[in-house]
Structure 1
């Protein structure tokens, strides 16, 4: 669909807290308030992360995290406002539909008003997480009480109506069946026909380690590639399909560029959610490493921004995009 191009971007992840009111059985990231691994980032730590990222050439900050029951709505809004004020050139792709529904509960306001307020504060687009699998019976088992299918679709529709682009995901390789995947793709296709607001579809391979579903064998590379190919064929109204190397693995993601994917994601510095679930991929990759993977797959590497505009640099983004040292996280 996009010729011989393999897209990537220079991005960084920000997970402001892992404390979460939900107890999804597939999640290894969440913590209770009193858990030893629970954390809550301060404004200073968040701004330090943004400054460090932009100084190394990042064009995007991907912000998602837990639903901390003690933090008010304004805390979440302030993250976007703070980072955008200090680093206006960083595109902020922030908060899944699950988080937006939580903001509705906190404020008793419609999501369209909330999205507009965040947009004015600096929100650039929405990630596609929280979709998991749309089948209600499966959702009742793996993520009971979490935003349901209708609400996920409703929130993305509202974002599109405000001119905000978003991504879409599907978590596969757990207890769902192949027909559940097709039902999921069909619902995404229908909404895309209606709004045209989705940019990228991202199939996410389930990682069972450190979850309450760790008895399940994670999907094989053949399953990964079949899901990728079927997704590309089914979602012909999506411009892009991404092979997210953090979950798929570097080598499989590279091969996926020949199975329908046209994007391998980016440097992904500081990703925590899938690494807590046992992902054995690196915490980040350099630009040089990403370009080599794409080139070896027979594709032309093209750096993009979040909205798929080509990024042309007078000099290369720092090859050593590996942020040294660990940022201390405030214990809660």
Structure 2
């Protein structure tokens, strides 16, 4: 009874907007009744967004290279330098894909790739400036702290210098890429060559100070403990207390195919939904919570809308990294809007900064573009998306 009363107290305090501790968050995650946990998280959402709007985005994730020196055990996408299957796209190909995205209504592009041994700050300056010159209407929400650390090392400049230069070249926002698990033990187990979680957050904090906002992510299901999952949240919240620079938190689940971990550990749907709910209660200082239907499936994505989520992510016109590891969940614009509306919410297309571009208050206001389909997976799913196989011009990755 004491434990039950304690859980009720934490849920009521969190639902009312109060700050809960890491220890309390762990207790909720492991012991709170599922429905009570979801109700408390949804109360937080309703207080923040009383209009009942759930947002979505149209974007494209374009990978410029799969060559990488980091060799993360969970990654099925990368190839080592000089590997026969390594590739790099020329700028012309990246711009062509940006043009396709704009034609389909995309407002954002994510340019991401491996840690190529030759790519310093200069490469990213040229890439971002080329995209901005050709498509100034596209927000570049791209790369992550790991890429920033790598490019700074290659170019022999400070982290701050690298951030200032790529911002000047056109970078609008930093993705939460590379967070995986931030606590030391699980991070070293799955990505021993990557920077520490604390260092990842240092780069984010530096970017926030220099005027670039970002998102924060979490990959769950690679053998981390419940306590380590909550520690991950706490590490992000500590930085958010100081900077306020994280717009959204986006947890997703590890995909088991074609990588060294081979699916020995995975997170269940219930574990994911509980984490989503706890995150909404715990992150009193992070505005938005996004569900990852791409990794959990559309059913779990829709359920998450009752667990505190206010954003259903994107119709991602291209995605290769997670698809390479087995994510096969695909959708289209009509279906994504239906998922939101049938959950009793109002769908709205947003931009990178979560500004509403179009609110679909009635089905008659829904967009009707059958071309907006997730996703052209040019590597993992040849011929995906619109059903047209895309032959990709590649350059020597060296």
Give the CA deviation at 1:327: 4.3
Matched with 2:175 is: 127
Which one of the candidate residues 302, 316, 325 is aligned to 2:389? 325
1:209-253 CA distances to partner (integer Å, 9 max, x unpaired)? 111111414322111111111111111211111002211212111
311 and 327 in structure 1: CA distance in 2 versus 1, 3 angstrom threshold: farther
TM-score (norm 1): 0.95
**In structure 2, the residue corresponding to 1:226 is in which secondary structure?**
helix
**In structure 2, the residue corresponding to 1:10 is in which secondary structure?**
strand
Q: Distance in 2 between matches of 1:233 and 1:315?
A: 31
Which one of the candidate residues 350, 356, 378 is aligned to 1:304? 350
Residues 88 and 395 of structure 2 are in contact (CA less than 8 Å); yes or no, is this contact kept in structure 1? yes
User: Where do 5+ consecutive residues of structure 2 fail to align?
Assistant: 1-44, 360-364, 374-385
Give the CA deviation at 1:141: 1.3
Q: Distance in 2 between matches of 1:61 and 1:241?
A: 20
Q: Distance in 2 between matches of 1:120 and 1:304?
A: 24
Structure with the bigger percentage of helix = 2
Which one of the candidate residues 257, 282, 286 is aligned to 1:238? 286
1:40-93 CA distances to partner (integer Å, 9 max, x unpaired)? 101110010011111111000012110111334322221111111100000000
160 and 327 in structure 1: CA distance in 2 versus 1, 3 angstrom threshold: farther
Please tell me the root mean square deviation across aligned C-alpha atoms, in Å: 1.7
Q: Do structure 1's residue 115 and structure 2's residue 157 form an aligned pair?
A: no
Q: Distance in 2 between matches of 1:57 and 1:160?
A: 28
Aligned length: 330
Q: Distance in 1 between matches of 2:368 and 2:391?
A: 22
Matches within 5 A, 1:278-293: 278-282=326-330, 285-293=331-339
Q: Distance in 2 between matches of 1:193 and 1:327?
A: 47
Matched with 1:14 is: 62
Q: Distance in 2 between matches of 1:93 and 1:236?
A: 24
Residues 7 and 262 of structure 1 are in contact (CA less than 8 Å); yes or no, is this contact kept in structure 2? yes
Matched with 2:216 is: 168
Give the CA deviation at 1:205: 0.6
**In structure 1, the residue corresponding to 2:172 is in which secondary structure?**
strand
Residues 120 and 155 of structure 2 are in contact (CA less than 8 Å); yes or no, is this contact kept in structure 1? no
Matched with 2:90 is: 42
Matched with 2:247 is: 199
Give the CA deviation at 1:316: 3.6
Q: Distance in 1 between matches of 2:172 and 2:127?
A: 13
Deviates more, 1:110-119 or 1:93-102: 110-119
Matches within 5 A, 1:55-70: 55-70=103-118
Matched with 1:294 is: 340
TM-score (norm 2): 0.79
Deviates more, 1:170-179 or 1:321-330: 321-330
Q: Distance in 2 between matches of 1:182 and 1:216?
A: 21
Larger Rg: 2
